[in-house]
A and B are shown apart, each in its own frame.
Chain A
């Protein structure tokens, strides 16, 4: 895509979009992804200076669900995102071109923005048999990802497939599917989810676009703003868990009341994600627990596609809002006053005994 540069906002104004409206879009985007409001202005400023980050989006073994989710965002809407805020230079689903033409665009974008572009990877990468199970443009997925990751400013793996293998890696994993980090041999920024909440991607990309930094990551490369806590910790049904109110069967009285779904196989206690805090594509309640189904742990490696959906898992950390009593009877310590009183009593007894014995010996002497 051509660099629009500083006259971009002027051009927008000729199309009937005021500068004010554009800054509104930027501010909304910033707000939606948890960046401070003034980041919107900074974003607009960057756009004016023609500093839109170039994004190269690669697809491998996936269902395009992550892209489809991104298409349905509204703050900012996809149009303003990919045309105004960032510059998506290669995306197989969205590109109008095809074949040699689009491959040429990919080459050009990577060459022109060497060391500055963001590489987003969607889909797992098959490593088995030299990676022959996934080829795009005559090149295997392994080759492609290694080539374009080498010159990228940041590599973002979106969705569980790109993060750790996802569906294609489910047992028996016939193609040897793995995540991007495994192929590159380093930790990359991962946004697991099936599909990942597009706002987690937007937040990450827009932060990079605005400040040139990436959010704080955990040891698996997941942004802490989204993946630090487990679903269970922020679940809207948590009060029911704490009070021991569990839905026993789908459709029973407790289920209709909106009780905790742990017994029905909820993976919330072990699943790191922010589903309950950031509505998926801004549709309130549009997530498993919101519609009365247990969380399936779609973000968590080793849970989704590995543990049956209705099997519940242990809770790794004590989850009650308080300490538990230890095993063994509850015993109070001996207080100072109690010890004093006991001492007095014992002393009195000894004294009385002594006096009594003296009396006795006196009587005997008579």
Chain B
């Protein structure tokens, strides 16, 4: 048999299929994911109450000592970030699907079982007390896997800094103001109580109470974040005519996102399944080609 590209690929594919097949039967619950703790904290954002004043955006910048993200709008310069970015941990966006203008507050969702923690190779992103997804710049290597992994597009990299050691760019995202005794700044300043801070369990109860109290007022008559993507610590309520998707919240399965990916990834390496399969395949190819190779040598002489 020739060492053709085709044969090598065949071997690789066989190995891959074997490894994957070996890992798939393992049920999702085999993985020990993060669970909701009793003292977990979170936020509830009710977009039917938000008036888009952006007090939360300003307060967040002040409390977290973030520089302004100026751009020119309508002839004047304002701190008006277009999205979460290296200077913005909280941003108000607009959804114009419904009958009225609906505002959307974007910040980290503090998932119960976060994808960003799952993909973080250095443990820079980790869970702390209260179920907060925290970030430790000291161990971060700047790989930005978390940016790709997050289904909500939350972690942002300081692209404006380019020198790795001198400027030391970091990942920037909301950490529920865990550095401050007073709780999140955004919830403190909101003039309408559109975003409130509290224990996850209490907030869920309150959100469900609101949905129950006025049927037909809220999208899907449910609270986003209760089960979505394994649940989040930040809940959302949307008006009936603005779907969660239109509000910028992705449709996620019930299982935490890391459940499937980690199962596949981890199982392929348990007991060395993947390397064994790979090297077996390569050995087979090599052995089959051995004789031919020697013949070739003779011909050259």
Contacts and interface: CB of A to CB of B under 8 A. Distances in A.
A260 to B, nearest CB: 8
B242 to A, nearest CB: 9
B83 interface: yes
B53 A244 contact: yes
Interface stretch (A13-21, A113-121, A326-334): A326-334
Interface string B177-201: 0000000000001011000000000
Interface stretch (B25-33, B71-79, B107-115, B251-259): B71-79
B54 interface: yes
Contacts of A321: 73-74, 76, 78
Contact of B94 (A318, A319, A330): A318
A322 interface: yes
A340 interface: no
A180 B96 CA distance: 39
A133 interface: no
Interface string B38-59: 0000000000010111111111
Interface in A131-150: none
A327 B247 contact: yes
A318 B52 contact: yes
A361 interface: no
Interface in A213-259: 241-246
A314 B189 contact: no
B125 to A, nearest CB: 20
Chain B, interface size category, equals 20 to 34
Nearest to A269: B51
Contacts, number: 80
Dominant SS at the A interface? loop
A324 B153 contact: no
A357 to B, nearest CB: 10
Interface residues of A, number: 27
Given A327-B94, A328-B248, A320 B52 contact: yes
Contacts of B91: 325
A246 B153 contact: no
Contacts of B83: 325, 329-330
B157 interface: no
B56 A244 contact: yes
Given A244-B54, A318-B52, A323 B101 contact: no
B210 interface: no
A312 interface: yes
A326 B49 CA distance: 18
B53 A327 contact: no
A88 to B, nearest CB: 45
B277 interface: no
B58 A323 contact: no
A322 B80 contact: yes
A325 B79 CA distance: 12
15 contacts: A241-B53, A244-B55, A244-B59, A262-B191, A312-B191, A312-B192, A314-B49, A315-B51, A315-B53, A319-B51, A321-B78, A325-B81, A325-B93, A326-B94, A326-B95
Interface of B: 49, 51-59, 73-74, 76, 78, 80-83, 91-96, 101, 103-104, 153, 189, 191-192, 246-248
A-B complex: 7 closest residue pairs judged by Cβ atoms? A244-B55, A327-B248, A263-B191, A322-B73, A330-B83, A324-B94, A244-B58
